Amino acid sequence: MNRFTFNKAGNIADAFSSQQQSDFSKFIAGGTNLLDLMKENVERPDHLTDINALPFQEIGMNEDGGLRLGALVTNADTAYHPEVEKRYPLISHAILAGASPQLRNKATNGGNLLQRTRCYYFYDTALPCNKRKPGSGCGALQGFNRIHAIFGTSDHCIATHPSDFCVALAALGARVNVTGPSGERTIEFEDFHRLPEDTPEKDTNLHPGELVTSIDLPEYGFHENYKYLKIRDRASYAFALVSVAAGLKINDGKIEDVRIALGGVAHKPWRNKEAENMLKGTTPEKSAFEQAADLILKDARGFGHNDFKIILAKRAIVKTLSEALNS
């Protein structure tokens, strides 16, 4: 780990001013991703601002009937919160499918959104990686790419976003509240993470120095028919090769609303509204789910080692929707 200076921000203004001292400073929340990357010399901040005392600590009701998840609430406290368990079980299940109990006790909601890819080339400073070192090339493109993306890739980067929580947030259509030196704003979840294009060093549309303060869940949480399916190399404590978050709202035997978001397959949680719209108004049955899966996978492209994800994702979508229907 490189040397750095450290301070604890007592309030938001404090956090901004301590960050403005250098272009290479970072916020630290749970530290479970940042310190891991610092130990590998992948992240080399010269200053850390501890944001754990900032007032983003609560889960509470919003005026529109939705729920607000504070950025500093831990993943564990979020997953086991009674309102989340009752109204947004998809969120609970997705969080509990990720990491380990120890990590979830430390990992925060804001940090989870901003965790970086697990691409092996990104982690190895001896190898090329455009995300870590812009212009150095993408090691994965012609290298080992078993865990890499099949949607929304570019010639510059084929990494995936590793979060489970974010897949459920994408499915529900959450919003991210942020604050920065130039004010507050709200970002739709689908606009929060970005595709790599020719600037893979940028994971999200958060501006430098901005803080995530909370995440808003919409009023309806698909609590009746939902499923989070995570497929990985071992049964627990591993990142997703493919994951699917699905919610169905059934009315009079027809699909009134449906959400399908995929994890482990792109630089951001992957949602295809065309496929969701195709399902709306139809009878929920396997053949319809298969058509939707075909439509979603139409855009997929493998890079050799990860070709298996295309057929795996297709089957996972059908299985997840079927299980959501019967849940």
Partner 1 sequence: MEQATLLGTHESTAIKLSINGKDHSLNVEPWVVLLDALREYLSLTGTKKGCDHGQCGACTVLINGKRINSCLTLAVMHEGDEITTIEGIGSSDNLHPLQQAFIDHDAFQCGYCTPGQICSAIGLLSENKVKTTADIRELMSGNLCRCGAYQNIVAAIKQVKGNIAE
Ligand X SMILES: Cc1cc2nc3c(=O)[nH]c(=O)nc-3n(C[C@H](O)[C@H](O)[C@H](O)COP(=O)(O)OP(=O)(O)OC[C@H]3O[C@@H](n4cnc5c(N)ncnc54)[C@H](O)[C@@H]3O)c2cc1C
Binding footprint of ligand X on the chain (CB under 6 A): 26-34, 36, 51, 71, 75, 98-99, 103, 106-108, 110-112, 114-115, 162-165, 211-212, 239
Would you count residue 32 as binding partner 1 (CB under 8 A)? yes
d(CA 225, CA 249): 7
Task: Quote the CA–CA distance of 258 and 179 in Å, as a whole number.
Answer: 31
Q: Using the rule CB under 8 A, which residue among 14, 47, 199, 250 binds partner 1?
A: 47
Which CB sits closer to ligand X, 34 or 248? 34
Choice from 67, 90, 99, 297 touching partner 1 (CB under 8 A):
99
Select the binding partner of residue 138 from partner 1, ligand SF4, ligand X, none (C-beta < 5 to 8 A, by kind).
ligand SF4
What is the phi-psi region of residue 164: left when phi exceeds 0, alpha when psi lies from -120 to 50, beta otherwise? alpha
- Maximal C-alpha separation, the chain: 62
Interface pick for partner 1 out of 15, 16, 19, 48 (rule CB under 8 A): 48
Site string for ligand SF4, 92-121 (x = CB under 6 A): -------------------------x-x-x
Task: Please provide the distance, in angstroms rounded to a whole number, between the alpha carbons at the two ends of the chain.
Answer: 47
Name which position in 17, 20, 21, 182 contacts partner 1 (CB under 8 A): 21
Consecutive H or E run containing 11: none
Binders of ligand SF4 among 174-203, rule CB under 6 A?
Answer: 200
Q: Does 159 bind ligand SF4 (CB under 6 A)?
A: yes
Picked from ligand SF4, ligand X, partner 1, none, the partner binding residue 236 (CB below 5 to 8 A depending on kind) is: partner 1
SS (H, E, C) 66-114: CEEEECCCEHHHHHCCHHHHHHCHHHHHHHHCCCCHHHHHHCEHHHHHC
Q: Smallest distance, Å, CB 42 to partner 1?
A: 9
Indicate whether 20 belongs to the interface with partner 1 (CB under 8 A). Answer: no
Q: Rg of the chain's alpha carbons, rounded to an integer?
A: 19
Q: Which is nearer to partner 1, 21 or 205 (CB)?
A: 21
> Residues 76, 84, 96, 138: which binds ligand SF4 (CB under 6 A)?
138
Sheet of strand 225-231: strand arrangement:
225-231, 242-251, 254-263, 270-271
Cβ–Cβ under 8 Å, residues 51 and 28: yes
129 belongs to the binding site for ligand SF4 (CB under 6 A): yes
